Amino acid sequence: MIRMTAFLFFTALCLSVLSVAAESETDTTFEQLGIPDPTLFVTDHSELFNNSRIDYQAIAGETYIQDLSGKPKASIFTFAYLKTNLAEGETRPVTFVWNGGPGSSSTWLHMGGYGPKRIVVPSDGQPAGLPPYPILDAPETILDITDLVFIDPVGTGFSRALGEYEGKDFWGLNEDADSMALFIRTWITQHDRWNSPKFLLGESFGTTRAAVVARLMEEEMSISLNGIIFVSQALDYQGSTPYVRDNIVSYITYIPTMAATALYHGKVQPLPESQEVFLQEARDFAVNEYLPALFKGNRIDREEYRTVRDRLAYFTGLSIDYIDRANLRIQGNRFSKELLRDQGLAIGRSDSRYTQDEIDDLSAEAARDPASNGISSAYRAALMSYIRSELNVDWGRAYLSPADPDLSKNWRWRTVPDGTSWEPAYVNTAHDLSVALRINPSLKVFVASGYFDLTTPFFDAEFTLNRHDIRADRIQYAFYQGGHMMYVNEPSRLQLLDDTREFIQSQIPGLE
């Protein structure tokens, strides 16, 4: 059941947001600055989640983040789902959710993974097909245990820069994280949630962001987090950059995903005992045989070369001739074109279960991603239909998904001020996570990875988080029969939700 409430039900609440430095008061109104009040769309709902009846309010709307003088500098649009039938004395957790990019709205996790409604697409790596697409209730999601706030960063969705600020002021590794940490502090202030258990949940670049935001919150804002959920982690980009020929690390981190993919497409002979055993063998081969061989370079002897080459052919399903011509260096971006070249097919980068017939069968790399092509329009259609029909979002502003076309070309990976000496390196926010974990010794991280993810390979998650001064007992891993968005596969979606629920409950005092 849904009953509409006033269009600007929470405007007064939003106007109570104070200066972001210490929430100090300001006499300047939005109107005096030529900025309209935040736009909000509020609806009430009641549904069963995990067999629990949850009455909740859906708030689709803007939150203004402010500079030190109290002037709004950006409108952050979110889809917040907040339980209203609270038990006496109940302190409700809140989980802040975002996707990646950089330059992605929250559409994917909202409509595919954790929202109260979900788009239904085939689980077996087939395209979504033609509209209309089924949009169903998602009673398995985690609204039974936590409120959810899906966040669109500036330049995505309905989020925009305000006043004298421009989008490029927020488009950078540090700038983006600063705005997201500031948003969270603003949101918990205006909603009186400072003492609520708090979780961050990010996907892909959203995990890159989450590591920095966690450090900012713990180190600079004195806001403790209960837990962080990484979906398809991407903290140290060296292990997920396969197109740099001399990047030895990426050759190692991609081997287990290539093995999973080759096995899925029937390219592994003889068949292994099981997927689990085979992938552990691939991990062991990558570290104990393949890495030393690559490290030796042209000093490797012929016998060792042939042994490694033949083993590489077994795990990847590629021909010995191709591996010889590649000089043992199998790049993940080229693997997606080579594995099924004899069939004229390229496989998906974000989910290698998907295939697509490409025009140029001779190119070294696939021209596009069959997985993304297969489901993107369905997710976009589902979100736009759902927010208008059920959340009553009726607004003239364009919903940017993909992002503002200027975002990518203006994005700053630079981590030091202009004019400062800086030698570019692979993006790496694992050190930020390490700092956050040191400051908050009770903080833990749950890492969800898909076996068929050629964008952020699952072995890279293990490689990254098993070093950078991060203790093993602070990290929990789970692996799924899907790709970058493992929740596209329905059994994986259900397992991911169960695993996330269990992790969140384990990180709330009194519920362990």
- Encode pLDDT of 471-499 as tens digits: 999 999 999 999 999 999 999 999 999 99
Q: What is the mean pLDDT of residues 72-93?
A: 95
What is the Cα–Cα distance from 219 to 416, expressed in whole angstroms? Answer: 19
Residue 512, domain member (yes or no): no
Count the helices and strands in the chain (H runs, E runs).
15, 15
Mean pLDDT across 8-24: 39
pLDDT of residue 421: 87
The pairing of beta strand 444-450 with beta strand 227-231: parallel
Mean predicted confidence (pLDDT) in 12-34: 50
Confidence of residue 28 (pLDDT cuts 50, 70, 90): low
Same-domain check for residues 211 and 306: no
Are 160 and 25 in a shared domain? yes
Examine residue 370 and state whether it is found in any structural domain, yes or no.
no
Q: Structure tokens of 30?
A: 């939005």
Q: Which of 469, 428, 499 is nearest to 227 (CA)?
A: 499
> In the predicted model, what is the mean pLDDT of residues 291-307?
96
**Cα 213 to Cα 217: distance, rounded to the nearest angstrom:** 6
Q: Is residue 224 part of a domain?
A: yes
Q: Given pLDDT bands bounded at 50, 70 and 90, which one contains residue 366?
A: very high
Q: Round to whole Å and give the CA distance between 107 and 115.
A: 10
Same domain, 212 and 274: no
Q: By the 8 A CB rule, do 155 and 411 touch?
A: no
Query: What phi and psi values does residue 485 have, to the nearest 5 degrees?
Result: -110, 80
| DSSP string across 77-128 | EEEEEEE-SPPTT----EEEEE--TTT--SHHIIIIIISSEEE---SSS---
Indicate if 243 and 389 belong to the same structural domain. Answer: no
Question: Is the same domain home to 231 and 242?
Answer: no
Confidence of residue 443 (pLDDT cuts 50, 70, 90): very high
Residue 362 Ramachandran class (φ > 0 left, ψ -120 to 50 alpha, else beta): alpha
Average pLDDT, the chain: 93
Residues 308 and 404 in one domain: no
Quick one: pLDDT at residue 405? 95
pTM, two decimals, is 0.93
Domain containing 425: what range? 2-237+377-506
Radius of gyration in angstroms for the set of CA atoms belonging to the chain, rounded to a whole number: 23
CB 228 within 8 A of CB 255: no
Percent of the chain with pLDDT over 70: 94
Please give the average per-residue pLDDT across 324-335, as a whole number.
96
Q: Which of 365, 400, 433 is the last residue of a domain?
A: 365
CB 123 within 8 A of CB 489: yes
**Among 338, 365, 392, residue at a domain's last position:** 365
- Can you read off the two tokens belonging to residue 373? 């092509």
Measured distance CA(455)–CA(461) in Å, rounded: 12
Q: Quickly state the pLDDT bin for 512 (edges 50, 70, 90).
A: low
pLDDT of residue 19: 36
Type of residue at 201: L
